[in-house]
Structure 1
Amino acid sequence: MKTRITEMLGIEKPIVQAAMGWIARAPLASAFSNAGGMGIIETSSGELEIIRGEILKMRELTDKPFGVNVAQAFVRDPDIVRFIIDQGIRFVTTSAGDPQRYTATLKEAGLTVFHVVPSLSGALRAVEAGVDGLIVEGGEGGGFKNPKDVASMVLVPQVCEAVDVPVVAAGGIMDGKTMAAAFALGAEGVLMGTRILSSAESPVHQNWKDAIIGADSSDTVFLNRRGPGPALRALRTERTERLQAEGTENIFGEFADTKTVYFEGDLEAGIALTGQVAGRIKSVRPVAEILAETMDEFEVAVQRLSGFAGG
């Protein structure tokens, strides 16, 4: 399969892995790249010396393309761009901030840059900054969000109609059906977050994976819509239901002991970022199976739609 995304990134399948803090490291990202997609290493944890080691591990675990994400709201090291360039990275996704901040410097060093956007205005600003592509993320996705959230069904075609750069659709994507829908809306690739969070290679505790598998599509909450700080979508728990009802003056402080949530399975110890698509995930599967099945289902969905057109 060839799209501008596969050609630009040198990958077999136009599927990108979400850059989840503490989670998107070498074991998960290499599995994704080896399966033909674009594996991404996170930096939002701020643990750059550990990240340096993860990048080295990536090169031991895969000879396929991979990238690094820079979540600007979490950058602690002012030299993070130099850090990424020095590691020999060729593809970067930037998010949670102004695309004007790093794009020019990264592109001058020869890197390909995609920026994550939650709105049309954000997309236009990123294109003006010179990005090579966009990751357009609807409000149904997990993680940090624009308080004025727009669903992927509306946002993706709105952006695709307004820009010439290739678009990766994110938010609600987990299989071939949703990938085909994204392509019908104008995207040339998709990003998976919650589906990969619950994969066999994901390092998070089984309690979180089980909560995703047992969830309905209404079992997430949209927090901090009125600020201060960003909004976010997370798994519904007693803690997050309280935050939804009462609000908070410091949403970042409410994450508390993140590693306890992620790796020890105490989902009340902080906030477990999760998308609405959890309601459709019914099993823990290896990444390679998820991506292969997605491509097979995509082809079936496209053929089915072609049959309607032919009729």
Structure 2
Amino acid sequence: MNKPEPITTRVTAMTGTDYPIIQAPMGWIARSQLASAVSNAGALGVIETSSGEFDNIREEVARMRELTNKPFGMNLALAFVKSSDAVDFVIEQKIDFVTTSSGSPNLCTSILQEAGIKVFHVVPTLEMALKAIDAGVDGLVVEGGEGGGFKNPAPVSTMVLLPLIRSRTTLPIIAAGGINDGATMAAAFMLGADAVQMGTRMLSSAESPVHKNWKQAVVNARETDTVFLNQQSRPALRALRTKRTEELAALGKFQVMEQMAGHHQLYFGGDMEAAIPLIGQVCGRIDAVEPVSDIIYTTINGFRAALADNAKRYGVV
């Protein structure tokens, strides 16, 4: 597949990428194997820190620089910031673009910016977006409740949340939740996004390190095959419907990390009942495991086609 022409937005200008597509920072998954494929295809690969395995992550960053000479970013999961060590760690990696999540951006925004790093904070509500804006972030990742992983206990869909937050800020926005192709990317841009983030779509890509059983589970899943867990506590989670997650759904609240103890057997051993498989509702729209470059190029071509087709259909000049 031929590589499409680049698209320039405020986010690509900040990141130095060809395309305004960001790979979600999925714990244990968003490491050099996947992130380098994303960056090499012209989008922005992102290295995770939510696993808390900083020694391994340092090695992954070094490996990343062997695998690509393209830009990449890092996520800082603020729930793990118990001291300044995690922030210092990110700065030491000489990363230019960081997303922060799962905590207050007041903890580190100015420190990261003083080190020359652009900071986008992940927000699931308007209230949290306004707090992040007050903290001085460079942009926002607006994450709808249909996305997978750790969520706000009161989820708001991307279709509602994105235009709401756009109406209250001029900052660049990366839209996340329910996005997997050109049409959904175009919809996000119409609602005010400057870029999009993909999680479940990248998890199920050919270069994703997760076991083939998990990828096949995504391909087989229907749009109703996720469950929303731990809604009476924090963090809430959106995950694949399995025997384990069905039982957890009935509890209302539980200790999340206890249920994730078998993550290695799930992620890399293919035991879908060993832990909680975190995915978004968009799993119901994914019907094949494809190379990252094909996903990105098809999305960009589809984005342009969706805009052009609708402009022609409705007589927009």
Q: Do residues 262 (structure 1) and 267 (structure 2) align?
A: yes
Contact 1:45 1:74 in 2 (8 A): no
1:129 aligns to what?
Answer: 135
Aligned partner of 2:279 among 274, 281, 284: 274
Structure 1 Cα separation of the partners of residues 93 and 307 of structure 2: 39
2:201 aligns to what?
Answer: 195
Matched letter for residue 217 of structure 1: E
Matched letter for residue 79 of structure 1: D
Identity %: 57
2:168 aligns to what?
Answer: 162
Aligned partner of 1:92 among 73, 78, 98: 98
1:288 aligns to what?
Answer: 293
Contact 2:210 2:267 in 1 (8 A): yes
TM-score for the superposition, normalised by structure 1: 0.98
Alignment partner of 2:268: what SS?
A: helix
Aligned pairs for 1:126-275 within 5 A: 126-227=132-233, 229-275=234-280
Q: Do residues 25 (structure 1) and 54 (structure 2) align?
A: no
TM-score for the superposition, normalised by structure 2: 0.96
Alignment partner of 1:264: what SS?
A: coil
Contact 2:147 2:238 in 1 (8 A): yes
Deviation readout 1:158-208 (Å, 9 max, x if unpaired):
011111110010000000010000001010100000000000000001110
Gaps of 5+ in 1: none
Aligned pairs for 1:65-84 within 5 A: 65-75=71-81, 78-84=84-90
Structure 1 Cα separation of the partners of residues 221 and 285 of structure 2: 8
Matched letter for residue 147 of structure 1: P
Gaps of 5+ in 2: 1-6
User: How big is the shift at 1:46?
Assistant: 1.0
User: How big is the shift at 1:253?
Assistant: 1.3
Aligned residues: 310
Contact 1:117 1:123 in 2 (8 A): yes
Structure 2 Cα separation of the partners of residues 41 and 177 of structure 1: 26
Deviation readout 1:196-242 (Å, 9 max, x if unpaired):
00000000011100110000000000001111x21010000011011
